[in-house]
Each structure stands twice: as C-alpha cells, then as structure tokens.
Chain A
Amino acid sequence: MIARLSRWWPVILLAVLAAIPFTVDTWTVGTLSRTLAVGVLAISVALLTGIAGLPTLGQVAPYAVGAYLTVALAAAGFSVGPMQLLLAAAAGAVFNAAIGAAVIRTRGAAFLMVTLAVCGLTEEVAQQWTSVTGGSDGTGWMPAFTLWWGGADVTDKSTVYWYALAVTAIAAAAMIALNRSTAGTLVRAARDDELRMRASGHRVGVLLWGTYTVAGAVAGLAGGLLAEVVRFVSPSDVDLSASALVLLAVVIGGTSSIVGAVLGAAVLLVMQDQIITALGDAAQGQAPVVLGAVAVACVYLLPKGLSGLREHLPRRRRSRRQEAA
C-alpha cells in the first residue's frame, strides 16, 4: 500500500500544494507565490551545489538578470507572462555561460569564494545601475502579466499562485529528468571523481560549463517568476543574505534533491515570516538574526538536511521486516 502510494508522491504533493489557496488567506497566498520563485532559484543552486558538487553563492546574478529584464520588458509594454519567463531564462543562461568560462576553473572552497565575489558584484550593480534597477528603492510597480497575447491581466492572487506552481513544477520536472539522463550521470560522476572522469576521456570542463549555463537558465527563470509574482524587484532580493538563504535551503533539502530544495526554501521563508510576525515590533530589522540563528542550528542539528531524517524510517521498517522473517 505504502509502496504503491510512494510512486504517486509527485501527484499527491502537487495536489496538496494546489489546494493551499482554498485554505489560507490571500496575503499568505501571495507570500507562498514568492516562496515558489525563491524555490526555483533553489533548484538551480541544488543543481550546482549538490549534483555538480560546486557550492555556489553566485546564482543571484542570473536571477537578478532575469528579474530586472522581466521588469524592463513589462515596463516596455511586453506583458506575455510565459514569454517573459523564456526571455529571462535565456538571458540567465547567456549570462552564466559568459562568466562560467572563468568561474568554472575553480572547485570546492575556491568556487564558493569566487561565486561569493560574483554575488557581491551583483548587489553593487543592483544598487548603482539606477536607470534599470531604480537603485536601493527598487524598481517601480511592474504592470501585471497576461497568460497569452491579448489575454486579460492576471492579478488574482490564487491564479498567480497556480501559475507560479505550474512553472515551478515544470522546472523541477525538467531538472529531475536532466539529472536522470546520461548527461546528469556524467556530471555526478565528475563530482565524485574528477580525475577518473578526465582519465577516461570525458571533457569535465565542458560538462560543468554546460551545467553552469543550465543553472543560469533556471535562475533567470526564477528571477522572471519573482518579478511577475511580486511585481517589484529591489537589491535586497539579490543580495548576499538572499543568496545564503537559498544555499541554506538547499542544504536543508538534502543538497542534491531538487524537490527538497523547493521545500527547503518554503520551510525557511515561511519560518522566517512566522518568527518575525510572532515577535512583532521587536523583530524590526532582525531578519538577519533569524537567518543567522537558523544557519547555525541547521549546520549542527541537520547534517544531511531534512531528507537525512528520512533515512531512519526505511531502516526501521527493514529491520522489522527482517524480524518478521
């Protein structure tokens, strides 16, 4: 029974997530839509950090490219939502392909350091290129998107949420498929033993550069989705705290799990929201404290993320079965 159910978990998960707008107020639905956009960014970070073994803080760069491009497109009168997302993804891919040529030369700690520098530069550009980004005030209020040419503006919070959920599901499914493909296997092999992969004739550099480009496309898509959902982008969406939050979400989700990354982002953002709401005025400007405390706690308490907890379950079940036999 359980085994048969577990095969259907993606459908069940989607159904549960799709039912959420019927049970909570519209403000929460809006927050959850934003969470999904951050979740897609987390997918791109999981692709690099977990699957390719390249821990990154730099994915906010293509994310920012996608987000600000979408705002600019909407401001110029181009409001077809899915097309905005495709262009944002393309821009993110081009951006990461360009900087990937340099970034991909490093591994491990050096990769983390270089991508942190990329993140710092992103924040600075978002602050200073005021003609596009509006500086620290953020962009102006972005016009709503439509589902197709000539369609009506999508402004209903629940519809926006379902749209974001569909985009997230498609991105997650595509990345899971990629991970299971031959290319995904080669990337994971390069993570586990790069020297051996090089020795057996695989072009690891090209492989990782391709992964970095794909991750750029996903992050660009996430940025576009963020802009469409929130209809406002500011430097605090693309700063180091945002970047660290997503990396933490990925670690909580189990580092190489795509679905785990989205759920990790949801857990973190909802928890941060709840704590700050619960503390009321005392929590004014204390979001970094919450993030810092959660980071410290997670590193010690959840060494393998939330999915690490799952490992206890099958073992218990197996031992019980062995006892029965």
Chain B
Amino acid sequence: MDAYLLNVVNGVAYGLLLFTVAAGLTLALGVADVLNLAHGSLYVVGGYVAWAFTDGGWGGFVLALLVAVAVGALLGAGLSAAVAPLSKRGHLPQALLTFGISLLLIQALVAMFGADDLSPAMPAALDGDVSLMGHRYPGYRLAFIGIAVVLAVAGWMIMSRTRVGARVRAIVDDRDMVACLGTNPRLVMVGVLAASGALAGLAGALGSPIFGPGPTRAHDIMITSLVIVVLGGLGSIPGAFVAALVVGQIEGLGPLIAGDWTSYLVLGAMAVVLVVRGPRRLGLAAAR
C-alpha cells in the first residue's frame, strides 16, 4: 500500500497540472469556439520564461510567474486576432492555422533556448525533499498541489459566483442569445483566449520543475489535454477537472500496474467513454 502512496500523490500533482492546461483549452473551445492546437506551445513558453527568470530566490520565482502569465495572455490575445477572420469556416482552418503557428513558435523557442529539456532553479525552500509518511518526496510537488488547488478553487469561484463567470457560462450555452443581450462577442473572444493563454503560461511556469520545457513537451501536453477535454465534455470545466484527475492517476499508478501499457490505458479510457456516452451527449451539439 505504501509503495502506491507516492504514485498517487504524483498522479494528483500531474492531474492538477493537466487540469490547469486543459481548463484553458476547454474554455477557448466552449466559449470562443476556437480549437487551439497552439495551446501546448503556450505551456512551453511559460516553462522557458520560468527558466529564464528564476534565480533560486522568491523574487525571481514570483517575477517568472507574472511574466509567464503576461506573455501567455499576450500570445492568447494574438491568437484570437489571428483566428478572427476564420470564424465562419469551421474548426479545420483554425486547427491548421494554430498548428502552423505552434510549429513556428516551437522552432523559434528551440533556436533561442536550445533543443535540451531545461529545469529551472526554484526557491531553496521549495527545492528540497520532504518526508511524506516516511518517504522522501520532492517538496515542490506538494507545494504545487497546494497552489493548483487554490487556483482551481479561485477559478470555480469566478465561474460560479461572479457576473463575468455567469456571462461566460451563458455563452457556452447560447452564444447568439448572449450577443443579443449586449455582450460584444469580439471582446469576449479576445478576453477568453487571453485568459486561456494566461492559464497555459502559468501552468507552464508552475509545472516546469515537474514537466519542464523542451521541444517535444508542447506536443505531449497538447495531446493529453485534448484527451482530457474530450473525456470531460467539450467546454465543461468541472468535467475537465474530473477527467484530469483520472488521467493523472492513470499516469501515476499505471507504471506500477500496467507497465509499458500506461499510454494505451489513457486512450482506452477515452474509447470506453466515447462508446458508453455515445453520440448524443458529445456529438451533434459539439459539431456545430
């Protein structure tokens, strides 16, 4: 039982990291109707920012987080401008465009930072190991779990208790009606993609000691978050939360139980959900 504990905690940390990324993705898809395949590269941008700004002290850490959020938001707003002319043409041109942008972005980052996976210098207080039920465990992961839970609760409060959150949820349900009520859809789109980009940048910076920046990371995190968005139901943030924690546990416990078959387990879970849930819940409404 004890052997499993560390993997469960690892899974929670990884699941919360995935949730922070996937929440931005599902928000962009549900609210702005943008399938953003550059989302994974925004995560990586956050990671590189963290690597560039952290210096082993608290000041550098906080500065890195702020810069990562700002850069992510800026890139997100830029993406919303890039996809705006395509709004009448469905998801395929959006997917191709954002995929092309992410290829260019990643090559630019590799040219700037090199092709190695990097690991930023975290504040000393977070960097060491702590004792967890008699095991040594990286302290940063526990700190990350704490920060991510605070983020998730804050996000949930914003979505459920504020007018902005109510407006955003209303747009997921009926975009045209909300536009009729006097909310400028153009502004919403910029705002949502900026928020989504900020989340990805923040996740990249916070997650960099766990899942650090590197040329192939964008691709890995993108595919896993897409699976989470599909599992949770397009546009559903609570759904993404549950799905992310489940995928985190599969990735955390999988190597102990299924060995090399772990990555098939995630896809297998997706297949089961798709077959069981059927087209009615997922399909026709989401296709529009």
Contacts and interface: CB of A to CB of B under 8 A. Distances in A.
A binds B: yes
Interface of A: 49, 55, 99, 101-103, 105-110, 112-114, 116-118, 120-121, 124, 128, 194-195, 205, 240-241, 244, 247-248, 251, 255, 286, 288-289, 291-296, 298-300, 303
Interface of A is mostly: helix
Contacts of A105: 274-275, 277-279, 282-283
Interface string B59-103: 000000000000000000000000001100111110111011111
A298 B96 contact: yes
B227 A117 contact: yes
Contact of A295 (B96, B106, B107, B282): B96
B104 A296 contact: yes
A117 B93 CA distance: 19
Nearest to B263: A124
Nearest to A239: B219
A9 to B, nearest CB: 27
A241 B102 CA distance: 11
Given A113-B35, A292-B104, A298-B96, A107 B91 contact: no
B243 interface: no
Given A108-B286, A121-B264, A293 B100 contact: yes
B229 A113 contact: yes
Q: Which of A103, A109, A255, A288 is packed against the most chain B CB atoms within 10 Å?
A: A109
A93 to B, nearest CB: 18
A109 B35 contact: yes
Given A244-B96, A298-B96, A109 B106 contact: no
A120 B91 CA distance: 20
Contacts of B282: 105-107, 110
Nearest to B286: A110
Given A117-B267, A292-B101, A107 B279 contact: yes
A232 B29 CA distance: 39
Given A107-B282, A299-B86, 11 more contacts: A105-B279, A106-B230, A107-B283, A107-B287, A109-B35, A110-B286, A112-B35, A121-B264, A292-B102, A295-B100, A298-B96
B35 A296 contact: no
A110 B273 CA distance: 13
A109 B286 CA distance: 7
A240 B219 contact: yes
Nearest to B223: A120
B158 interface: no
B126 interface: no
B260 interface: yes
Contacts of B229: 113
A205 B275 CA distance: 12
A208 to B, nearest CB: 10
A219 to B, nearest CB: 18
Contacts of A205: 279
